Each structure stands twice: as C-alpha cells, then as structure tokens.
Structure 1
Amino acid sequence: MASQMPLYGWFGRAVEIDVENRKFEYYEVDEDVLLKYLGGRGYGAYYLYHNMRRGIDPFDPENIIVLASGPLTNTPVPTSGRFSASTKSPLTGGLIDSNCGGHFAPFFKGSRIDFAIIKGVAETPTYLLIDEAKVEFRDASQLWGKDVHETYAALKNKHGRCGVSCIGPAGENLVRFASVIIDGHRAHGRGGLGAVFGSKKIKAVVAIGNTRPAVKDQHKTLIIVKDMLKLIDANPITGKALSLLGTLSTFNIMYRYGVLSTRNFKDPLVDGFEELSAEKYHELYFHRKFACHNCPVGCGRVSKIDGRIMMGPEFESQFAIGFNLGIYDYRDIVEIHNLCNQLGLDTISMGVTLSCAIELSQEGLIKESLRWGDPELVKRLIYETSQRAGFGELLAEGSLRLAKSVGHEEYAMQVKGMELPAYDPRASQGMGLAYATSNRGACHLRAYLIGVEILGVPKRVDRTLSAFKAGLCVIQQNLYAAVDSLILCKFIGYATHEEHYSRVLEAVTGRSFTSEDIMEIGERIYNVERLFNVREDIDGRYDTLPKRMLEEPISGGPSQGYTTKLYDMLHEYYELRGWDSNGVPRRGKIEELKI
C-alpha cells in the first residue's frame, strides 16, 4: 500500500523502463519497502531478489538493472551525491551493486524519481534521457564505438547542465568487468555493470532533473550537518590525509605494515616506496584536487604530466595497474588509469587479470610471452581487452575464467570470480574474512577491517589474530550496507557513525530512526543479497580465498610468514549471522528480519 502521508527525502516514485518496446511507466513505491531498505543498494537488492527468476544469464534480456538514489541524496548532508546501480553480475553470476560518486545523482533524483528499473534489449544503440516528466529513447548509433570521454563530451555539449552515465567500448563488447563511468572519470567500477548496459544496447543514461526532495525538518538537519562537518574537518584521515593527499595517502601506511604485494600477490612490496609515496606524487605531478557533489573532503586528484592534464590516479589503480604489474613510475600509472576509464574498464579487475596472465606466462602455462614492468605491453593488452581482440578475448573473461581455461585456477587472485583489491589478506586477518564473505566477491568496501587492524579506527586490534574478527566483520558489513542505501560516502565513516546517520535520516524524512534501526536495515540488506546468491547456487562453498592466501606465507617484509587463518573465523561468522554451516540464512533469521 503506498503511503498516505507526505514523503520527505524520498519522492516515493520510480520508473520502469522497457527499452525493447520503448515504453516507460511510473509507479509508487510502497513506504514499507522504503523504511525497510531505504534506497540505493538496499532497494536494488530488494527489487532483484523479488523480481528475477533463478538462473537468468546476466546478458539475457530478462536481466534487470536497478538505478537508485537514497533518501539523503541531494540533501544538505555531506557526501549525499552518490549513486547506486545493481544487476546480476556477468563476472560473478551473483548480485552486484556498484556505488559511484561524481555529479550524476542530483540530476537523477532531480527528475522526481528515487529509482529506475531497466528491462529488455534495445533494437539499436540507445541512450536514455530522463527528466521530471518522461523518459526519452534517443538514438545512440553515432555514439556506439566511441570511448567514454568522447561520449561524455558529446552528450554534455548536446544537453548542457545534466548528469551523464555512460559506457565505453569495453561495455559494448561485453567485457565481463566493464564499468559504467559518471562525469567521464568516476566509475561504477566493479562486477561488470558496463557489460550489462552493453548487452541491452544502452550507451548512456542522461538525467536533467532539477527538483530537490523535500526535507521535513530543515533546521534540525542543518544542525546535525554542521556537527558532522566539524567532525569530518577535525578527523586526521578525512580532514588531513584524504583531503591533502587523496586516496594515495593510503599507500604510505600500508607499505610500512607490509600489507601490499606485487606480481599477482606472489611477492611482498619491499622496494619502491620513494617512487610510489603520496608525497612524491604531489611533488612531481599533482595539478589540483576535486570533490564529488556536496563533499567536504575532496579526495579526487588531477595530474599534470608532460604538459597533459589527466584524472587520477586512485590508490586502488596505483596497486592494480601499477606496482602489482611491476610498474612504479607515476607517469605510466596515471596514463594507464586514464586509458581504463576512457575504455570503460574496472582498473582492479583489469590489473589483477593481467597479473594472472603474466604469471601464467612466466610459468609456461600459456603461449603468450608476457613480462612484468612493461607499461607499453600493458596498454596494448588493455586496448585488446576492450575490443575482445587477440589475447584480449581471454582477458575480457576475467582472471578466474582465464586461469580455468588452462586448468590452473590457483593463479587467479579472486573471490567468487571478482579480483582482489590492494590489501593482501595474509597481512590483515579481518580483511581476509571480509573478502571471503563479501556478497559481491573480493571487495574492500563490504567491510574495511583495515580501519581497526591498521589505522586504529576507532581502536586498533591485532591484525595477526583471528579472534573477534568475525563480530567486527559482521558489524561493518551491516553498517556499510545501510550507508550504501542512504547513500553516503564511506570515507566520512572515519569521523561519523550510525548515530549521526539515524539522526539526520530522521530529520530529513520525518520518520523515526535509531542507530539500532540503521544496523538492522543493513543486516536485512546483507541477508537479502545472500539469499539472492544462494538461489544462484553461490553459497558457503565460495566463501573462501585463493590457495596462495591460505597456504603460501608472505615471503618478506613486516608481514613475513603470515597466511590467512580463514577457517578459524568462518564458523563463528556464520553463527553470528544466523546462517547454517553452508552459509545459508536460517528460517528464523529470515523471519526475524521480515524479509
């Protein structure tokens, strides 16, 4: 039953878009669903779980894309300019949501909708134009084949003040880890959302709305916002490190603790600090910083290299397409980072798939002759991947399928088909558990145990011990699921917490929320995601890590001798979750959460 009370924060309206028949229909969203799932990642999980049948191929016309804002989107709340997209992943076969910053979300929500549901396959290349009254199906034939930068420039030139979300050649060619890019450089990076766009022949979504959502208690909202801004500014991570040095600031401390590895996680990173430090980058190549919509931190970086202005890099790119491949020169890293964005590729999956391929080559397991530390080779292989040309046809499948094709899955550094981020889980027991139990595959954004194990936020715990990590992992996974549904940036979580989120959500929406409610909503979302995956036969069998992480100790540096003690933590994790020994939510947990 739709709400009879006025809605604040939400519009309570969504649009279902049938690209095959070029039709759209608005519908009201049940208030009970909004209160239980908020929006963003939560609504995506709810909708896909209840509206997709089991076993659909991710490239089938029946696969669904859910574009979603949250109840705090485009309000005065700091970092409320983020956006979420969910679908069935062509990389993992499970549920994927991808969260992105930039400036698209305010225009999307400004169209007086909270969500857009995209179904079917267009007959010809199409882009969607969404405004406050309708959805238009525009011809994208002239844009098909163009890269992200060309597409973004063409659509911005045509539509002026708008938000643009688009794919590049990688999405068109169904690369399983293709990204959707916002603003020409901010990425819905992980899991292959861009390939699902491409399978539906959707080149872009352009939003041009300008209506702000109503806020129930503007005065109270601004008081809480002021408090949050003070905390963000005073915090040494959000107010200093990220603001002054960007995400590259992460490198320095991870290097000192021995959390970083190179060459497909085979060797510890023990050399190269001087070349790779955030300070060295800022000394030589920093041009300016930038921020996403309504963000007080400004972690983004713009580089100036040999007279050229280029975006980035980010820490995860520095790892995946940088030192992971034996590339240590920032000039090469920035150029490769921008090439991936231009073609619409996830830098993490691209880099770790390449490192898998190079190790396979070095071991004589594939015929291609590949080597570490060759940026020109890397650029060629990235382009071939985006076109599915030559060896790029195999690379486009991701590391797991590549390694399986030669009978050596153990060389793929992945979980559930998704490639590992920068943090070596052998050096951080909690991150190992977080990777293994992440619903979308190896991901540092489902739970960031690095915060407590390395950064000491809110307190430091021993990173080498497995004890108590299960509880910390569950708490963070639940909280992050709620934050991804509000939608806010996780970076401000260094300075703020669930009490702030419940208070500001209550002030904006006029509905009662406590910090306990926030955590319960997050738990509900995490369990729905799990149930979706279990329905797709992705259960506890896949809550594991690559053999290298479990059996091969780190060979040097501050973390020498460590492996991940995953199975010391996993049983306790399942018990705390209310799941059975196969990692499946028990009936009592499902009923408790009113799923």
Structure 2
Amino acid sequence: MAWTRKVLRVDLTNGTCKPEPLNMEWAQQYLGQRGLATKYFVAEVDPKVDPLSPANKLIMTTGPLTGTPASTGGRYSVVTKGALTGAIACSNSGGYFGAELKFAGWDMIIFEGKSPKPVYLSIENDKAELKDASHLWGKTTWQTEEGIKKAHQDPQVRICSIGRAGENGVMYACIVNDLHRAAGRSGVGTVMGSKNLKAVAVRGTLGVSGLKDAKAFIAAAAAGKKVLAENAVTGQGLPTYGTQVLMNVINEMGALPTRNHRDVQFEEARKISAEAMAEKRPTDGKSHLVTNAACFGCTIACGRISKIDETHFSVVNKPEYWGASGGLEYEAAWALGAANGVGDLEALQYANLICNEDGFDPISFGATVGAAMELYELGILKKEDIGMDAPFGSAKALCELAQMTAKGEGFGKILGLGSARMCEKYGKPELSMSVKKQEFPAYDSRGIQGMGLTYATSNRGACHLRSYTVASEVLGIPVKTDPLVTEGKAELVKAFQDATAVFDSAGLCIFTSFAWSLADIQPQIDAACEGGWTMEKLGEVGERIYNMERLFNNAAGFTAKDDDLPPRLKTEPAKTGPAKGLVNGIDKMRPEYYQVRGWDANGVPTKDTLGRLKL
C-alpha cells in the first residue's frame, strides 16, 4: 500500500513522541495529505480554538503518492487553524522534505500542545525525539538548516523550520524547507512558532514499498510523465520560464493587480517578467536567472535559481546575498512588484530572499506593503509612522520594510499584522485586498471573473491554488471560457475546487493539472492504493473534502458574508485593457455557486448534500 499506515503523535507540552496506526477507514474516504490530515484535524480540534493557543494542533502530512516515482510526488502539507485567517489552513510545499518524511516511514506528524522551551523534532526512520533548540531560537531558516545539518553530521537530513517571522508572530509566517520552498500561506509558521517548535529534521532510508500493483503503477506513472512532457505548458513553458511566464500574459489581459488594485495593468511589467530574468544585465553581462530547478520526483522543473546583481543598492556590502538562491516565482514577483508599483527586478529578488530567509509569505507581505503605500499616498500614514517615505514605486522602501518585518522592528511590526488588521487599525478596512483576512494573489478578478468567485469561496481565504480558473479562462485548459463573463463560472469553480482537493490529497503538485485531468492520476492512485479508486470515487472524495473544510469554517463562525470581495472590485471598474469598464460580478455568481454546491442560501451544506457525501 502507498500509505505507511503510521502516524507520529508529538505532545509538545509533555515532550513525548508516540507512533499510532493510521485510520484506514478515513484513508478510504479522504485519500491522504490535505483530505486525510484535515479529517484528523476537524475530528480533534474545536473550531472556535484560538489559532495561537496550545489547544490548536499542527499536522505535517504526506500523500499516498508522495515519495513514489509519480511525477511531482514530493509534496507535503501543513494543516492547522490559520493564524492569519482563523479559518482552516492547508499549506502545501514542494522540495524534498515531504518525500524524506515518507522514506522515514510516516504518513503524518500531529503536533499537540506547546513546548515549555524551544525544541526541534528529530526523526531517523522510526526513531523520533524532541531536542533542545534554544541555540537556534532567533536564527533564520537558513542558519537553522545549516546548524542542524552540522549537529547531525549529515548533509542529507531534510529540514523544515520557521525563521524570526514565525517566532515574532508575523501573522503570515511560513514554514520553509530546503532553503526556498515553503508551506507559505495563512500563517502556518506563526502557529508553529506559538508552540515553541523551531524545526523538524528528517532522515529516512526505508523508501516507499508495498504499492498495490507495482507493475501497473510504473506503467501509469510513465504514461503520466509522457503527457506532461508533450504538453506546451508543463513540457516547455514552465521549464523554460517558470511561473513567471505569466507576468506579461496577465498584464496584457488587463488582470495584473497594480498599486493595491487601483489599476489592472502595470507599465513596468516587462521589467520584472520571466523574459527580463533571462536577459543579460548591462552592469555585469550576466543574467538574473542561473538555472531552473526541480523538486523531488518532478519532471517539470519550474523552479528558478537566481543570482542578484552585486552592485544593486540592496546588497552592496552584503556578500551573504551574492550567491545563487531561490528565484522569483510569479506570485512573489507580482506581490513585491506590481502590487506596489515597483519595477526593479533586483529589489524584488532581495525582498524575496528576505522572505525565504526569515520565513514569511511574500504574497501577503507584498500586498500589505501595497496597502501601506496607498495609506501613505492618502496622507493617513506619515513618514514618521513608517520611518521613511513610502510612495508607490519605491524599491528602497520595499527592501527596508522587508528587513523590518523580518526582524519585527518599527513599522515592520504593523506590516506583520497583514493588510486586513493594518487597514482596520488606520480606519480604512476597505483598502485591504483580501478575503477572510488573506491577501489576494496575482490575478485581478475584474479581468478574470472566475477568480473572484474562487477567492470569495476559498476555504483558506483568498487563494488561486484552490481553483485555478486561470487555466480555463486564460490558457484554455481543459476548455476555453470567456474571462469577462460570469455565466458558467459557478460550475467551473466547483469543478476546479473538487479536482484540486484530489491532487493535493494524492501528494502531487497542482501544476500537473495544466496537462493532467483526474483521468491521468486515477490509474496512478488506483495502482498504488488498495480500495478500488474509480473516477467516480475520486470525484466524490474531492467534493467531500471541500464540504468538510466548509463545515469547519461554518462552525468557526464564518458565514456567507465572508464569501465576498472588497468594495473596490465590485464598484471601481477596470480603467484599461480588455476588462475596461468591468467590475467583478460576485453577487451574481455566489448564489449560483451555492446552488451548484448543494448549499442553502446562507452557504451551509444541506442535509441532502451531507448525506450524499457521508459527512
């Protein structure tokens, strides 16, 4: 079987680590990773719990295909109640940590309580123990990883950790693994910090064994890899340009949120695009992009490894940032760039390095800076409040504010609250471009209507990875839909949300869905896992997971009122581009969506829906 059938339960309060069998009945209903860990979480945690109290739990989890030869089978997720949102959080990461956890023989780790002092969890196959991390507290994720590898005398140990942002209570702190991969959104790192848990270090040598039908699985995985290789997006676009391939495309569509969503096109988008990353710099004749990179088992290799211009103001006299490191992804480049009107590629790379090094989400950080810059331009925030001039377009302010947020100093403490809490503090809540207190990603929903419904109804707050309708509305995958109309978007969003829940729960990267449908992963799951995984069963699993998350949020106090967009997107029409004159039609789409979902007018799943899904 593709599950290890083992769960590690770590009681941080009492310092104990105990194995227990995986609930296989639940595995048949929820598959793994996002679905299965969320089932454990909602069964054990009061939805009203304060995210930062010891009573909240934090689960690190793999999927049944994690660590197998399936392409992109290296994912793991972190499930908790999000510090930023107060909603169910499931944050997904690539790199090598997830596969290593599986190789050590564990499906998931459940962290409970709060340690009286800073600790890290060390796992070597079936041996698990909590170790003192007092010497690592106050260190960055990079220093933590280096320190643990040195202490263990093992360069192959895989580590995920929090930086100073997670320790200092930045509300959108991440958990960073492999130096620049992250479980990035909703403040999962903040929850980890509240538990005095600094890191998890894993060394696994057991591999993955016991696939239901190894021969059929290898054949299905090979067929899947062929589909990825022959697809224009996964075989060419993403390997060559990474996710940054989208910058110019989305800008031309008039859907690139600019200057805190005041505008939908950025005049300097070209300067911060994938094409710009690949061009040679006039200063030293080298390009920003060094190479592409892949996570464990990935045949797409969309990752970017970049090298900053050593003469740039941000790194003069800072040689520690001169080496090659994790490069800009589209979301980060947008949030640090267009969202603030900053067109300086090297400044974006520097701010991104700070986010990686100290473990905070560049999307929420960049969008919060955008809101602060608007407050500054409106005269509500003054130079003395921020500690500097911070107009839209200031690369210098962006870099300094990143440093201040990482250290929890000065105005950085206010930025660490996130845009919703910050804008409320200054009497302008409507300037926070967020849903459920989580900031929008890089798509303006006036130009891509389906994304407005996606953001509004996402269980973890505004998110593109819960239903990437951009695939259909922009790229024509699997079918082309008109981005400027609301018709049919309710069905489209539901279909994407349910399918995404299956990809996430299998342990696969959502980027495979540019080429794969459920029909491509069904044979892989069915050959790996016992239990007869038909298309119908997978479809039902996806829908069950989405409704389970919704029920948790409803019990936590979220209502239909929270399935909404900021006034700006509903009342201020796009000024330029194809969407000129349009606002988002969320008020029309939401009731249609509730109906399609089998929810009542208040967004609560009906008895019939719950019965059908065995919830």
TM over 0.5: yes
> Contact conserved, 1:111 with 1:130, CA < 8 A, in 2?
yes
2:299 to 296, 300, 312: 296
Contact 2:248 2:270 (8 Å CA) reproduced: no
Say which SS state the counterpart of residue 99 (structure 2) adopts.
helix
Is 2:558 the counterpart of 1:510?
Answer: no
* Structure 1 segment 4-403 matched on structure 2, within 5 A: 8-159=1-152, 160=154, 161-213=156-208, 214-284=210-280, 285-306=288-309, 308=322, 309-367=324-382, 368=385, 369-403=389-423
Distance in 1, Cα, partners of 2:522 & 2:300: 22
One-letter amino acid matched to 2:259: R
Gaps of 5+ in 2: 281-287, 311-321
Cα contact 1:501–1:515 (8 A) shared by 2: no
SS in 2 for 1:165: strand
**Matched residue, 1:4:** none
Secondary structure at the aligned position of 1:460 is classed as coil
Gap change, CA 1:180 and 1:222, over 3 Å in 2: same
SS in 1 for 2:224: helix
* Aligned-partner Cα distance in 2 for 1:163–1:87: 22
Look up the SS of the partner of 1:556 in the other structure: coil
Match of 1:3 in 2: none
1:549 aligns with 2:569: yes
- The equivalent position to 2:597 in structure 1, one of 565, 577, 582, is 577
Q: Report the Cα distance in structure 1 between the residues aligned to 2:98 and 2:175, rounded to whole angstroms.
A: 14
Q: Is the 8 A contact 1:65 1:117 kept in 2?
A: yes
Question: Which whole-Å CA distance do the structure 1 matches of 2:493 and 2:442 have between them?
Answer: 18
* TM value normalised by structure 1: 0.97
SS, match of residue 299 in structure 2: coil
- 1:589 aligned onto 2:588: no
The corresponding residue for 2:283 is: none
Amino acid at match of 1:120: G
TM-score under structure 2 normalisation?
0.94
Amino acid at match of 1:556: T
1:262 is matched by which residue type in structure 2?
T
Q: Quick one: which amino acid aligns to residue 203 of structure 1? A: K
- Matched-pair contact (CA < 8 Å) for 1:164–1:205: yes
What does the per-residue CA deviation read over 1:232-281, in whole Å, with 9 as the maximum and x for residues that have no partner?
01100000100111111111211221110211011222412432332221
TM-superposition CA deviations, 1:461-513 (whole Å, max 9, x none): 11111111000100110010111110101111111111122211111113311
| Further displaced range: 84-93 or 263-272 | 263-272
1:88-126 CA deviation, whole Å, 9 max, x = no partner?
111111110000000001111122110110011111110
Name the % identity: 37
- How far apart, in 2, do the equivalents of 1:200 and 1:402 lie? 25
1:374-407 Cα shifts (integer Å, max 9, x gaps): 2222222222223332222221111001111122
Tell me how far apart the structure 1 counterparts of residues 36 and 61 of structure 2 sit (CA, whole Å).
7
CA contact (8 A) 1:362 1:371 kept: yes
Residue 305 of structure 1 and its aligned partner are, at CA, apart by 2.7
Q: Distance in 1 between matches of 2:169 and 2:498?
A: 32
Query: Between Structure 1 and Structure 2, how many residues are aligned?
Result: 588
Aligned-partner Cα distance in 1 for 2:272–2:407: 31
Contact 1:311 1:338 in 2 (8 A): yes
Of residues 273-282 and 434-443 in structure 1, the stretch that sits farther from structure 2 once superposed is 273-282
Matched with 1:405 is 425
Whole-angstrom distance in 2 between the partners of 1:318 and 1:384: 19
CA contact (8 A) 1:310 1:334 kept: no
> How far, CA to CA, are the matches of 2:150 and 2:528 in structure 1?
35
Q: Deviations over 1:28-62 (max 9, x none)?
A: 12211001111111122211211111321111001
CA contact (8 A) 1:270 1:557 kept: no
Secondary structure of 1:206's partner?
A: strand
Q: Whole-Å Cα distance in 2 between the matches of residues 23 and 456 of structure 1?
A: 51
* Structure 1 residues 302-358: Cα deviation after superposition (integer angstroms, max 9, x where no partner): 112335323211101110011211211211111111111111110000000111111
Amino acid in structure 2 at the alignment position of 1:274? R
Is the Cα contact below 8 Å between 1:170 and 1:344 reproduced in 2? yes
What whole-Å deviation, never above 9, does each CA across 1:138-196 have from its counterpart, x for those lacking one? Answer: 11111111111111112223332121000100000111100000101101110001111
Please give the per-residue CA displacement for 1:56-76, whole angstroms capped at 9, x wherever unaligned. Answer: 111100100011101111111
Matching residue's letter, 1:18: D
Q: Counterpart of 2:150 in structure 1: which amino acid?
A: N
Describe the superposition over 1:531-561 as per-residue Cα deviations: whole angstroms up to 9, x where unpaired.
Answer: 1100111121100001101110011123211
User: Which one-letter code corresponds to 1:333 in the other structure?
Assistant: L
RMSD over aligned Cα atoms: 1.2
Code of the aligned partner of 2:340: L
Q: List gaps (5 residues or longer) in structure 1.
A: 1-7
**What is the letter of the counterpart of residue 585 of structure 1?**
P
Change (3 A) 1:273 1:375: closer
Asked if the contact 1:75/1:215 (under 8 Å) is kept, the reply is: no
Cα distance in 2 between the residues matched to 1:95 and 1:273: 34
Local SS of the residue matching 1:203:
strand
SS at match of 2:551: helix
Residue by residue, what CA displacement relative to the aligned partner does 1:270-297 show, whole Å, maximum 9, x if unpaired? 4124323322211231111110000001
SS at match of 1:268: coil
**What pairs up with 1:394-433 in 2 under 5 angstroms?**
394-433=414-453
- Distance in 2 separating the partners of 1:217 and 1:58: 41
Asked whether the 8 Å contact 2:354–2:406 carries over to 1, the reply is: no
SS in 1 for 2:223: helix
Residue 319 of structure 2 is matched in structure 1 by: none
Q: Which residue of the other structure, out of 585, 593, 602, is the alignment partner of 1:565? A: 585
Residues of 2 paired with 1:270 and 1:385: CA distance? 26
Task: Check conservation: 2:269, 2:338, Cα contact below 8 A.
Answer: no
AA aligned to 1:138 is K
